[in-house]
Structure 1
């Protein structure tokens, strides 16, 4: 081993398994480690400190190992500021730029640790130095397509500190009623009560509940219950795709969803054309808000959003019919709109949509409480695997979950 770097770990690194995970990373990636200092916390709230030297055959291997350790909360033991390099062109970052996690992150700038604003995963870190007027330096994330020529981009791992959420000693996850991860079961009254309590707390603190919706909410019979929650003020923002809005509006105009009567489950004549008829009627008047004002739409989730000034983002996709005038068809514009919603959210409910759950999850910091509900286990596990480790996954019927949540909140 010819090159080395010293890193430090601090916190409840034994309880959370962080220390063992870091040891494993070094060995799995072909390196070695030497523990130089180890101080174990000796009571419940005491933190543990570990200083270790990481060795590798090449500088490239060492950088890769240190980067992975940094993602787990290890900090390079170096008093120097972070390394900055100017972006050479718009949308072009330096070769060794630091790619972010969604965990709280701090960057050492001008001799002090500065918290990164609006942290999210898979972004570059851009530094704005202190101004002549004495303004403090700022560090914020930028997606690659937003990087501008001359932006001071953080490179390497020096001067970067990541703080992954630690698992509490009692083993509970983001909420007391679950351990985190995935639970495959019918939602019990106790689970619903815990989620409802979180929503009440957010509302009491004037925070924001963001609901991410898939069309299955309408197909499975959860639409009316969700509309009631919007109308009662328990939903502060909504993120969905063209399909959800179309089927919600179709249910109002024709009593069907994808051409199927959601009450009788019968297929009315020409029912398969109802969704395209719905799009045509909304386009004819200019949009969803115009349809509500004209009295064409008088119930449902989108109706309640318009009537209660609940902002919504409808992000389009290549497979959309129409789409509706309200749907954002530019992918970058849609990402930015979703990003604004995610940064404002205090609690996120992801309801039966893989595409939009992952899209919103990518923009969320790991400190935002997130509940993902879907009948398909792949939706929940993919969200967790993608990096939204703070999410609680519940594999269950959305048509059962939302009415139970409604009953708990509005009883």
Structure 2
């Protein structure tokens, strides 16, 4: 009740053209108590009812008698059967032959494929681009249930309070930074990885040295970014500018508008960022620190990119695959100053992985949550100040 899940479920039933009747409602008395609702859902057709049941599972609502999952073969490469089950980013289980099987690698907007691996049956989330003709794809909502993360299921401790939104510029930032630092230490102590998603404002705001310290201290295990972050980071290392602006003086320099494309050309001549580090051409910056520390990075481009750098993946489907390959073992994600790559990464992450989104624009955090990453916590602040504070806490 605290989280408003029941209201959202009932709204979705009506919005999708169905009807409901609440058969029972057991409200918890204490904050830690669970509430339980039994809701009868009806629709004019079986197909519509199936759609409604799949929709309400986004909120963690499951059928009382889920039945057993059924599969149909994919008709051809890159195409699911028409009745395929569309996944959420929640932990998902599939019932096959009276046995509940946990789905590997939960991800939203995918299908569920049943296969055999080393003599045992497994269920994986598979994006539509990767399904192959004949794959056994789970169809309908029967035999599928989801689990909400514990924090989302419990809700909050208070019914009303100031500054209780997920994105606010008025929360005590020093406290939030300390909490994030503590979480990152816990994740590292547990042997898990910290994933960073970064935009070019990391360089524009002069925060690259703080980011370098975080890399060197071991708190950046994987970096997702686009062509821009790497380009301007390399530009700052080679020319001391970002977008032609002197990072020490904050003013433009003669011919500064050429620096980013000259930086790209220099790296293209070397063959890769790693080769430029090895040859001594690139001697500083975030990308230099990642290469020196042996940490992986995935750069995925867009249609507006200059160059791009030779390390940039220009096919977005290949880029998604490269990003997915780095997700196993990730226990915490922090996204700074990039709307495009933040939403893209959020779409790939299961809801069980906590993520923090830091941006000067509150709309970035809002859009991230609106596109399914409800676990996102937002901090609205200047990226340079945030990274400096975090580096002081951790390094």
Matched, 1:78 2:65: yes
2:319 aligned partner: 334
| 2:16 is the alignment partner of 1:32 | no
Retained in 2: the 8 A contact 1:185–1:394? no
Q: What is the CA distance between 1:297 and its match in structure 2?
A: 1.2
Matches within 5 A, 1:67-216: 67-78=54-65, 80-128=67-115, 135-165=119-149, 166-167=151-152, 169=154, 171=156, 181-185=166-170, 188-216=173-201
2:2–2:156 CA contact under 8 A, matched in 1 = no
Whether the aligned pair in 2 keeps the contact of 1:187 and 1:401 (CA below 8 Å) is no
C-alpha separation between the residues in 1 aligned to 2:206 and 2:184?
Answer: 22
1:66 aligns with 2:50: no
| 1:278 equivalenced with 2:272 (yes/no) | no
2:330 pairs with one of 345, 352, 361: 345
* 3-state SS in 2 of match to 1:212: strand
Secondary structure of 1:54's match? strand
Cα distance change, pair 125–244 in 1 and its aligned pair in 2 (3 A) = same
Q: Deviations over 1:68-113 (max 9, x none)?
A: 2222222223353112111111111110111111011111111111
The TM-score normalised by the length of structure 2 is 0.93
Unaligned regions of 5+ residues in structure 1, if any? 1-13
Are 1:388 and 2:373 an aligned pair?
Answer: yes
- Counterparts of 1:42 and 1:188, CA distance in 2: 33
Please list, as runs of the form range in 1=range in 2, the aligned pairs for 1:284-299 lying within 5 A after superposition.
Answer: 284-299=269-284
* TM-score scaled by length of structure 1: 0.90
Query: 1:98 and 1:386, CA in 2 relative to 1: closer, same or farther beyond 3 A?
Result: same
Given that 1:172 and 1:179 are in contact with CA atoms closer than 8 Å, whether structure 2 keeps it comes out as: no
- SS of residue in 1 equivalent to 2:303: coil
Q: Which residue of structure 2 aligns with residue 401 of structure 1?
A: 386
What RMSD over aligned residues (CA atoms) do the two structures have, in Å? 2.1
- Relative to structure 1, the CA distance from residue 151 to residue 180 in structure 2 (aligned partners, 3 Å threshold; closer, same or farther) is farther
- Of residues 292-301 and 357-366 in structure 1, the stretch that sits farther from structure 2 once superposed is 292-301
- CA displacement at 1:409 relative to structure 2: 1.0
Counterpart of 2:231 in structure 1 is 246
Q: Is the 1:180–1:390 contact (alpha carbons within 8 Å) kept by the matching residues of 2?
A: no
CA displacement at 1:43 relative to structure 2: 5.5
**For this pair of structures, how many residues does the alignment match?**
390
Mapped contact 1:171–1:179 kept (Cα < 8 A): no
SS at match of 2:334: strand
* SS in structure 1 of the partner of residue 290 of structure 2: helix
Shift of 1:126: 0.6
CA contact (8 A) 2:34 2:154 kept: no
Give SS of 1:75's match: coil
How has the CA–CA distance of structure 1 residues 95 and 270 changed in structure 2, closer, same or farther, with 3 Å as cutoff?
same
Distance 2:388 2:148 in 1: 34
CA separation in 2, counterparts of 1:125 and 1:209?
Answer: 27
Stretches of structure 2 lacking an aligned partner (at least 5 in a row): none
Structure 2 distance, partners of 1:53, 1:170, is 24
Shifted more, 156-165 versus 302-311: the winner is 156-165
CA displacement 1:34-70 (0-9 Å, x = unmatched): 3344444456555444333212223333222222222
8 Å Cα contact 1:210/1:237 also seen in 2? yes
2:6 maps to 1:19: yes
Deviates more, 1:363-372 or 1:317-326: 317-326
| Distance 1:172-1:331 versus aligned 2 partners, 3 A rule | farther
Match 2:304 to one of 289, 311, 319:
319
